Structure 1
Amino acid sequence: MTTHVSPPARTDSVALLYADAASTQNFTVMETIRAKFLKTARDAHLSTAMGTLIANAVQRENTNLPPSFENRGRGSGLVLVGPTGVGKSKSLERYFNTHPVLAGYADPASASPLVSVSVPSPCTSMQLARALLRATGYALERDMAAHRLWEKAFDRLQAMRKFIVHFDEMQHVVHNMPEKDLQQMADTLKNAMYNRRITLILSGVATLVPFVQHDAQLFRRLAILPFEGITPEKHDDIRRMVGTYVNAAGLADFRRSEIDNADFIARLSRAALKAYGYSIVLTQLAIENALENGSDQLTNEHFATVFAKKTSFSADRNPFLAANWHMIDCAKMFEKAVEAPPPAPISRKRKAKS
């Protein structure tokens, strides 16, 4: 008699690791803090721009017929541009997830009309088309030419009734592209918007802008929305952010702390490379450090400690400690030492012959 042994139940490794991590002190506090999204004026601008984009996407081509997937106009596009760490991807993700129709986009089988693609680096036109197909849930089994891959991707979007496509970190495609390939990429995007009636959202750093301006027709179909870094005028946003996270962590009132001042906020902006998203990361790490050390108040020392751990910068290059913090380039791991000029040659005068 043959005995059949049932295979062991499949266990989710993430659940196991989560159970272990959740047993550590302050895990739940930090999980809650990191899940909190803080809106700024930029998010209001993004919401307005996205509203305009979607309104254009669903306008009827034939006004005598009701609105439908088949009865919509030509596509257009939005380009969200800003420095790394400024918060572009996070803000877009939140907008997508909270939109009553776009939500659920991460599942290709959902009714959401949106497909979002995280562009790999480096990336060619062919690789981008493959990434788009994968985002729709299509497993590509054989090699194809780039133009055939794009045709298949567009056909699949049509069959799935998807008409909004987001390419995140689009600069990975256009960096170092030869002139001929740049034009082909521009033509592909124009074809997507005009002939396939696809609405595009491109997000990336400022080096994406020259590509957008490379082709006049492409430029006319795309609107550019800057997602700017931290400026002195936006320091109040940083102050509110720190205060909100401090309160959420149950620490002493930020408004009565040593770091509720213009000098500290300016130092935090410098350390975060003037990127709002990175300033949030540093603040969360500083709060975690404070909790781990049993402190009931967030201090400058906590920020200095986590910055040193994250960058390995010495104290004289730590913007939370150095007196000349405004001269520190926090984007450079190693700065070339300023070498002293060589000594001037000694002038030796010849003695006159007698």
Structure 2
Amino acid sequence: MIAADALLSTAAANVVNSYVPVTERDKKLASEVDRLVQIALSRTESHGGTPPREAPGLLVVGASGAGKTTAIHHILGRHPRLKNFGVEGELCPMISFDAPAPTTLLQLGRELLRATGYPIMNDPKRHIVWEMVRDRLRLTGVVAIHIDEFHNVTRTANSIERDQILATLKSLLNDRHWPVALLLSGLPEVVDFVNADPQVARRMRAISFSRLVAPVDVPFVGKIVVKLTSKATCPCPGGFSEEIAPRLIHAADGSLGILVEIIVEAIGHALRRAEPLCIQHFEDAYALRTACSRSVNPFAAEEWETIEVTRLLATTPQKEPAPGKPPRGGRKA
């Protein structure tokens, strides 16, 4: 029994730790990240030459669950020139942190200081924090910064704070003594924030993580199912992977990250029951995620395309009107 549990744990870990690349998108992202890193590092390796006056920027946007963070960290963690990326207590020329919520210029500066390994023991004023940020970046050799969840800025900062944050980021990019490259990632609304300052937008390149759609992405999703089941040594009947793909795409609302999570959870059910992967395992995985009734489970319902999959505890295919409100297109009795 212990040996069986160990095998199950190993198989599950193999699946969870698997990275699923989207060939063209990941190639483009890897290329843009490499460009950003190489240009940023050239600032410290000019050997008496003329370093770039401005650092590059990269904007990566996509819906929640699209796989942005996973893809970025996968690429950064394997970049040959970013040794020690993500290793606590070790120096690396690129650091990463999440934009806090709520976001102010002061809070953003404090989080950036923490990302450089600097412990904040008191409550310094905003201008002091940003002076410390610039000193720490030079002292630790940081030439590139990844700020994830950047939509927290657009959602929680007021208009004055947003303008101040934008101006500060611009000053990092074109600092005369130590320009710092920026990789910003978040929801699509971040695009409007960056476009609000043409000077910042000019310095940025952009990549959008689009949603998966059927039938175009069915073969790709089928390959993901096959790859993950093989990692877990979980039997998958021939043809099943592409048969389940359209329902998977709909259940995940087109988000690659959520889609992979559902597959991993379904494989977990199959492994625990020592069964070949089947649609029942996906039905159970989705039910556990959403606590929905079987009639609105995309892996159980016949008319699964009509199900609104963004709700928890759902009992009907479409969103019910709020109490006291008539259905869309209807009239209150």
Match of 1:16 in 2: none
Matched, 1:299 2:281: no
TM-score (norm 2): 0.88
CA 1:159–1:314: 2 relative to 1, 3 Å: same
Match of 1:239 in 2: 222
1:69-116, Cα deviation, whole Å (9 max, x unpaired): xx4542121011011111111111111111111131223653420111
Q: Structure 1: how far apart are the matches of 2:204 and 2:162? A: 16
Match of 2:164 in 1: 184
Maintained 8 Å contact 1:115/1:135:
yes
Q: Summarize the alignment of residues 186-265 of structure 1 with structure 2, pairs less than 5 Å apart.
A: 186-195=166-175, 196-232=178-214, 233-254=216-237, 256-257=238-239, 259-262=240-243, 264-265=244-245
Report the AA paired with residue 320 of structure 2. Answer: K
Maintained 8 Å contact 2:77/2:86:
no
CA 1:284–1:61: 2 relative to 1, 3 Å: closer
Query: Which of these residues, 78, 86, 90, is aligned with residue 66 of structure 2?
Result: 86
Query: Which of these residues, 50, 56, 70, is aligned with residue 33 of structure 2?
Result: 50
| Alignment length (residue pairs) | 317
Q: Structure 1: how far apart are the matches of 2:232 and 2:85? A: 32
CA 1:52–1:35: 2 relative to 1, 3 Å: same
CA 1:73–1:235: 2 relative to 1, 3 Å: farther
Shift, 1:32, TM fit:
1.3
Q: Structure 2: how far apart are the matches of 1:341 and 1:306? A: 38
Q: Structure 1: how far apart are the matches of 2:124 and 2:332? A: 61
Shift, 1:234, TM fit:
2.5
Matched, 1:336 2:316: no
Q: Structure 1: how far apart are the matches of 2:41 and 2:242? A: 48
Q: Structure 2: how far apart are the matches of 1:151 and 1:306? A: 49
Maintained 8 Å contact 2:102/2:157:
no
Maintained 8 Å contact 1:113/1:161:
yes
Report the AA paired with residue 204 of structure 1. Answer: G
CA 1:302–1:61: 2 relative to 1, 3 Å: closer
Report the AA paired with residue 188 of structure 1. Answer: T
Maintained 8 Å contact 1:125/1:173:
no
Matched, 1:311 2:290: yes
CA RMSD of aligned residues (A): 2.5
Report the AA paired with residue 241 of structure 2. Answer: D
Matched, 1:155 2:135: yes
Identity %: 26
Maintained 8 Å contact 2:97/2:146:
yes
Q: Any unmatched runs of 5+ in structure 1?
A: 1-19, 344-354
Maintained 8 Å contact 1:268/1:279:
yes
CA 1:99–1:64: 2 relative to 1, 3 Å: closer
Name the SS for the 2:184 alignment partner: strand
Maintained 8 Å contact 1:108/1:136:
no
Matched, 1:36 2:15: no
Name the SS for the 2:309 alignment partner: coil
TM-score (norm 1): 0.83
Q: Any unmatched runs of 5+ in structure 2?
A: none
Bigger mean CA offset, 152-161 vs 169-178 = 169-178
Bigger mean CA offset, 174-183 vs 277-286 = 174-183
Q: Structure 1: how far apart are the matches of 2:194 and 2:332? A: 48
Report the AA paired with residue 80 of structure 1. Answer: V
Q: Structure 2: how far apart are the matches of 1:268 and 1:275? A: 10
Q: Structure 1: how far apart are the matches of 2:45 and 2:35? A: 20
Name the SS for the 2:217 alignment partner: helix
Q: Structure 1: how far apart are the matches of 2:39 and 2:189? A: 27
1:325-353, Cα deviation, whole Å (9 max, x unpaired): 1111111225315758667xxxxxxxxxx
